Chain A
């Protein structure tokens, strides 16, 4: 096997053949865990043993649920603490937890528990939600399938991505972060196969924060970056 440089290029200068980008899609379905809680102490206690997949659902689920506008506090825990328990300072702290900063859900779980415990040390945390506004722990099941679409070259991304369903954007841009050992999104991972040619684009894609947005908006921003990049590179070639 020929030796490779850091960029992935063969040392003889020829780029390895890169397969087209296989567009995949996904469908998610929510499953109730049957676990409900009504106050902060119950939340803390339940977080110790709730399935780790529940954390994914409650940090990302709002992107896939019916909603009219971006939620005030991004993740479900912060939303519930704010709106039902009225513990506003804690809601703000929990809302600022960025799940991408944590290599796995166990560390994310610990962070969440610690923030709540620290708050409980200095506050009574006595507020209860109404019985019909309890926090319901959920998890999800995801079915991934091929869309039969292949993007042969990076230059075609600006044509294809605007027409991808938001569920496909979710799979390639958000779900990817849980699948890929190096983190990041599927588009960037594919672009890395082309050597360092698209490093600038990968940097721009990495700068898109997928957390504080809706999927429709995420797709719009993704398309904006792709169109801008390929228009500029076209201009450069023309110059």
Chain B
């Protein structure tokens, strides 16, 4: 084994790494390229930071390319993102001109690498048109969708679909997120990196220091939601739930920490709405953290009594996984991938309203032993199902499936 694989063996188990080595034997030297639109911020970039070097250690020639874009491009793709998640938005195909032009510019730079690759993973809508701009491609192209596509705004989906129809396969985080496409639609939930700065163990002094920096009292109960400033994360609902509990637990503190992403221009508007809603309550901490504030987020999640993720629409909800990994029960919105992770009475509670969230917060603040017991179960659940190693195993399985082009069963060696 090599350094990175050894390190993962310590967290995930040696048998898990053996599994990856065996599965990758048939893929030695394969040229795999991932393409997305940001190097920092957001779950996709976080996963790729470790997934790509891990593939390399397994003998796969893995590469990660980040496309560049201008403000018009990111405004358009943010709009598309919202539309795909079900928001009715002002949309015209003419507005896609900058999107297609930026992709054409990027194709000019990336074409040689992409056309030579054996397997290309295109992450999310931003780089989707690249396939049609690489006519000499020789490998398999896979569109990896990290978005909840269960109820897309149809004009947006129709527009995007034309760029996706020629892919060899697509990947969705949940079966419920799929849409009709003329190729196999694989289901692979995402994962967290247990060794990354956002999830690795931290010394108690560092956690205390981060709390002191923001004025958080570690002797009092703390609920934490880490999310972008995005209406789908229901930040105003979080504040309302906090206020409902505060009447019964005056000591309660709330942190809403928003990590920014360079492809999310709407964040400013929502941030201001949240600050206004928080008012001058000294126990509410609205934190706008830079994209590389991983250790700070880690410390805040570890300082929490319990973690919230009160989304009303969610792709998968990696912040849920992160909270659970830190032995915190999670009170999460009953939507999307949160349902896959939050198991009522075991790892947390699914809720459908600020009132529902408030009820469960009150319960867990009162029942501290139950809260700790659920936290321990939550961490084990993540260890078994949502670590990066499982994600990688499924990518290797998918690649094998596509390369061997057999239905159902593939026997190797």
Contacts and interface: CB of A to CB of B under 8 A. Distances in A.
Interface string B217-241: 0000000000000000000000000
Given A145-B25, A147-B22, A165 B408 contact: no
Interface in A30-79: 30-32, 34, 53, 66-69
A163 interface: yes
B385 interface: yes
A141 interface: yes
Contacts of A27: 19, 23, 393-394, 396-397
Given A66-B340, A143-B400, A144-B411, A34 B180 contact: yes
A146 B413 contact: yes
A30 B413 contact: no
A70 B79 CA distance: 42
Contacts of A165: 15-16, 18-19
Contacts of B335: 132
B413 A31 contact: no
A142 B409 contact: yes
Contact of A132 (B150, B180, B343, B409): B150
Given A143-B401, A148-B22, A165-B15, A68 B381 contact: yes
Contacts of A140: 408
Interface string A163-198: 101010000000000000000000000000000000
Interface residues of A, number: 30
Contacts of B176: 132, 134, 136
Interface of B: 15-16, 18-19, 22-23, 25-26, 150, 172, 175-176, 178, 180-181, 184-189, 335, 340-341, 343, 346-347, 377, 381, 384-386, 393-394, 396-398, 400-401, 407-413
6 tightest A-B contacts by CB? A66-B385, A136-B175, A27-B397, A30-B187, A145-B412, A32-B185
24 contacts: A25-B22, A27-B19, A27-B394, A29-B187, A29-B188, A29-B394, A29-B398, A30-B187, A32-B178, A34-B180, A66-B189, A66-B341, A134-B176, A138-B187, A141-B401, A143-B23, A143-B410, A144-B411, A145-B411, A145-B412, A146-B22, A163-B15, A165-B18, A165-B19
